[in-house]
Chains A and B, each alone.
Chain A
């Protein structure tokens, strides 16, 4: 049997994800996990370790190296009233499955006049910071967040890692969950038991309250923003940190509500700056809070290069807390 994670002193984001899978597999016979190396290897990032022994090869299925094929199989299984959870090793590899996700999973409900839903959950690893270079490190969440018919989730905390999956499976339409590779090992307090149901898959949340500037982020960038907020305390700046959580549909109301209080915003996004999530968030602020702005919206994003392999170059390319601090200073706060 597994360790009783919920009673441990600390747990990890990875264990929270595993427990969510275990929970889902136990709760519904129709749920199964499929992907490259999810079975015997225990998942490329160790998320599904031990699940093969517990649930057997029918429900923990190693897939051949063809994202198009096994995501497509997941779409078919979902149409056949199963509840597939498909793991794609990294979002970079999911490009090979874009056709299945965008043209099929996201579109069928619309094209069939609501007759055919695709209750598919696709989990994929995203993000850099682990020296895995340009083909394993990118943050392409914005590409999926662009597509109507999908719900896109980005758990940044152990609680969200634990509870978002179950709620995603309850959604009759396809859901993409982005797990950040740098967060798997994140330790923290065990998740809260018996959360309020249904789990909120609609709203952003304020992770840290502040009055001077709003830092808007998702996934690993939430932690970059929180670290920057700590540094800014010394400058007398109280930064509010908003965790988007749900990248589609984007919770513009929470963003606007926060900026209406702080009058300044910095969007922190590990995606590239051009035509990305940060641009969308910035546009929502212009649309909803233009007359509240006391400074132009700033963005701290990954530099516009394929992510480099050497650590110092990768660090230089990714959003770091200091860049967020600098952006806040440039708005005339602190510094």
Chain B
């Protein structure tokens, strides 16, 4: 059965700090379940299990910084006997009966092997008082870190979660002397995020010979189509122009595969699918680029909904491990308030970055007539080790082409 290891949540990550377990030994877990929270240099990330099974043992204590790849917890198949004894057995454990000796007769013996009873699934450890206080105060327990025995959430944890200023406590409460896992303050986190961005971008500028090409793309057709589409949709299901742009990039990346992949060990590794990184600026400062897997296979509404959720998670600081894994091409879009164009810096080990400036009405000559049309200036920063300006231009041309046929998006 697989072990749960400290994942790499970005090419620049070498170690992470385990902040919190969301499971306990004996818990049944399924692929995709959030099992722990890890602090990378960039953010607190919820990490998921890739296997179904039962948590056998938690190997790493919260608060411990360990290298990428370190086993954090061991899993066993449901029904498999635990590899490690339960930490404390207050009563003598029921002995597992030894298998009967082989029957001497030739008659077939049907014997069921002793199978350990499936461990019951536990909910998170939250004391009854903490649950009640959380309900009274309107605190979402999912956002509370437990510092009690075995990571249980106690009243103090809930009350701490209601205080926004570090160091303040709710009057009349007692803080137990037991050391809690120290979470970093917003300032510390911002500083480390800035340092991580700096390290990654410096590496990019140091290693990647960038070239940049740009193209002004007429969005009249695309935005007209979008308005018509949105008119028939409830607000929650309406599409933003960003979704159209992402969709078009994903399709264009199929046409020009030299921009989609990674450059590692002096070799370009083209990616079969498009895992689209989306650069998201955080309100407190800094930028983070979580990814939408298989963006080229997603229909527009699905892509939009993924983008919405990803942005929300990034801004709340609750990204998951899979959000940060393995982008093959990143898009940065400065939005309506941004600059006219952005010549971006490639996120290593990717080999290209598509930038969109703001969408604005601009004077455009069409068929010999000057008109005001809504346009966007798209740029491509490419890695000269992998592609040249010609191929990069083809990508922008393909992007333009797809955006002129919004029905096909």
Known A-B contacts A211-B174, A334-B177; the reply to A292 vs B148 at CB < 8 A is no
Cβ-defined contact, A293 with B129, below 8 A: yes
Known A-B contacts A290-B128, A293-B129, A294-B127; the reply to A333 vs B154 at CB < 8 A is no
Among B131, B132, B178, contact of A333 (Cβ-Cβ < 8 Å): B178
Total A-B pairs, Cβ < 8 A:
49
Residues of A near B128 (CB, < 8 A) are: 290-294
Cβ-defined contact, B155 with A263, below 8 A: yes
Residues of A near B147 (CB, < 8 A) are: 332
Cβ-defined contact, B129 with A292, below 8 A: yes
Known A-B contacts A294-B155, A295-B149, A295-B154; the reply to A333 vs B177 at CB < 8 A is yes
Among A263, A291, A292, A330, contact of B149 (Cβ-Cβ < 8 Å): A330
Among A211, A292, A294, A335, contact of B154 (Cβ-Cβ < 8 Å): A294
CA distance A263 to B131 in the complex (A): 13
Residues of B near A237 (CB, < 8 A) are: 177
Among B129, B132, B178, contact of A332 (Cβ-Cβ < 8 Å): B178
What are 9 A-to-B residue pairs whose CB atoms are below 8 Å? A212-B174, A263-B155, A331-B149, A332-B148, A332-B149, A333-B177, A333-B178, A334-B176, A335-B177
Residues of B near A291 (CB, < 8 A) are: 128-129, 131-132
Interface flags for A309-333 (1: CB within 8 Å of B; 0: not) read 0000000000000000000001111
Among B127, B149, B174, B176, contact of A293 (Cβ-Cβ < 8 Å): B127
Asked whether any CB of chain B lies closer than 8 Å to the CB of A235, the reply is yes
Known A-B contacts A295-B148, A295-B154; the reply to A235 vs B127 at CB < 8 A is no
In the complex, the 9 A-B pairs of residues with the closest C-beta atoms, listed nearest first: A294-B129, A294-B127, A332-B178, A332-B148, A294-B154, A291-B128, A291-B132, A293-B128, A294-B155
Give B residues with C-beta under 8 Å from A.
Answer: 127-132, 147-149, 152, 154-155, 174, 176-178
Q: Which residue of A lies closest to B175 (CB)?
A: A236
Distance to closest chain B CB from A294 (angstroms): 4
Known A-B contacts A263-B155, A295-B148, A295-B152; the reply to A333 vs B176 at CB < 8 A is yes
Residues of B near A332 (CB, < 8 A) are: 147-149, 152, 154, 176, 178
Q: Which residue of B lies closest to A292 (CB)?
A: B129
Distance to closest chain A CB from B188 (angstroms): 25
Residues of B near A235 (CB, < 8 A) are: 177
CA distance A295 to B156 in the complex (A): 12
Interface centre among A211, A235, A290, A331 (most CB of B within 10 A): A331
Residues of A near B129 (CB, < 8 A) are: 263, 291-294
CA distance A236 to B178 in the complex (A): 11
Cβ-defined contact, A236 with B177, below 8 A: yes
Distance to closest chain A CB from B253 (angstroms): 52
Cβ-defined contact, A294 with B178, below 8 A: no
Residues of A near B132 (CB, < 8 A) are: 291-292
CA distance A67 to B177 in the complex (A): 53
Interface centre among B147, B148, B152, B174 (most CB of A within 10 A): B174
Cβ-defined contact, A294 with B177, below 8 A: no
Cβ-defined contact, B178 with A335, below 8 A: yes
Residues of A near B155 (CB, < 8 A) are: 263, 294
Residues of A near B176 (CB, < 8 A) are: 332-334
If A332-B149, A333-B177 are given as contacts, then 7 extra A-B residue pairs at C-beta distance below 8 Å, sorted by A number, are A291-B128, A291-B129, A294-B130, A295-B127, A295-B154, A333-B178, A334-B178
Residues of B near A292 (CB, < 8 A) are: 128-129, 132
CA distance A293 to B152 in the complex (A): 12
Q: Which residue of B lies closest to A263 (CB)?
A: B129
Q: Which residue of B lies closest to A290 (CB)?
A: B128
Residues of B near A331 (CB, < 8 A) are: 148-149
Residues of B near A293 (CB, < 8 A) are: 127-129
Interface flags for A227-238 (1: CB within 8 Å of B; 0: not) read 000000001110
CA distance A236 to B148 in the complex (A): 17
CA distance A165 to B152 in the complex (A): 46
CA distance A260 to B193 in the complex (A): 44
CA distance A235 to B131 in the complex (A): 27
Residues of A near B130 (CB, < 8 A) are: 294
Residues of A near B127 (CB, < 8 A) are: 263, 293-295
CA distance A236 to B128 in the complex (A): 24
Residues of B near A263 (CB, < 8 A) are: 127, 129, 155
Distance to closest chain A CB from B171 (angstroms): 14
Distance to closest chain A CB from B126 (angstroms): 10
Residues of A near B178 (CB, < 8 A) are: 332-335
CA distance A313 to B148 in the complex (A): 33
Residues of B near A211 (CB, < 8 A) are: 174
Interface flags for A270-301 (1: CB within 8 Å of B; 0: not) read 00000000000000000000111111000000
Interface flags for A137-149 (1: CB within 8 Å of B; 0: not) read 0000000000000
Interface centre among A236, A293, A335 (most CB of B within 10 A): A293
CA distance A294 to B127 in the complex (A): 5
Distance to closest chain A CB from B134 (angstroms): 12
Distance to closest chain B CB from A128 (angstroms): 21
CA distance A332 to B147 in the complex (A): 8
CA distance A292 to B136 in the complex (A): 13
Distance to closest chain A CB from B159 (angstroms): 11
Q: Which residue of A lies closest to B152 (CB)?
A: A295
Interface centre among B131, B147, B178 (most CB of A within 10 A): B178
Interface centre among B128, B152, B154, B178 (most CB of A within 10 A): B128
CA distance A293 to B132 in the complex (A): 10
CA distance A212 to B178 in the complex (A): 13
CA distance A204 to B147 in the complex (A): 33
CA distance A72 to B221 in the complex (A): 105
Residues of A near B131 (CB, < 8 A) are: 291
Residues of B near A330 (CB, < 8 A) are: 149
Residues of A near B154 (CB, < 8 A) are: 294-295, 332
Q: Which of A198-217 contact B (CB under 8 A)?
A: 211-212
Distance to closest chain A CB from B87 (angstroms): 12
Q: Which residue of B lies closest to A235 (CB)?
A: B177
Distance to closest chain B CB from A287 (angstroms): 12
